[in-house]
Amino acid sequence: MGNFTQAQREDFLIGMMKVGFLKRLESSVHSFTLTLERTLDKIKDLDDRIARFKAYQNENPEIDLALIVPDDIDDEDMRDALEVGKKLTFRMAHLRLDDWLKALHEDRRQLHSIYIQAKDVDRTRDAKDP
H helices present in 1-130, as ranges: 6-27, 29-59, 76-82, 97-119
- Convert the pLDDT of each residue in 50-103 to its tens digit: 998 999 888 888 888 887 877 777 777 777 778 888 888 888 899 999 999 999
Residues 6+ apart with CB under 8 A from 25: 31, 32
The answer to whether residue 23 is domain-embedded is no
pLDDT confidence bin for 1, thresholds 50/70/90: low
Within 60-96, residue ranges assigned H as helices are 76-82
Residue 3 lies in a domain: no
- Tell me the pLDDT band of 127, cut-offs 50, 70 and 90: low
- Give this prediction's pTM: 0.78
In a domain, 88, yes or no: yes
Residue 49 lies in a domain: yes
Q: 112 vs 57, which has greater pLDDT?
A: 112
Domain count, the chain: 1
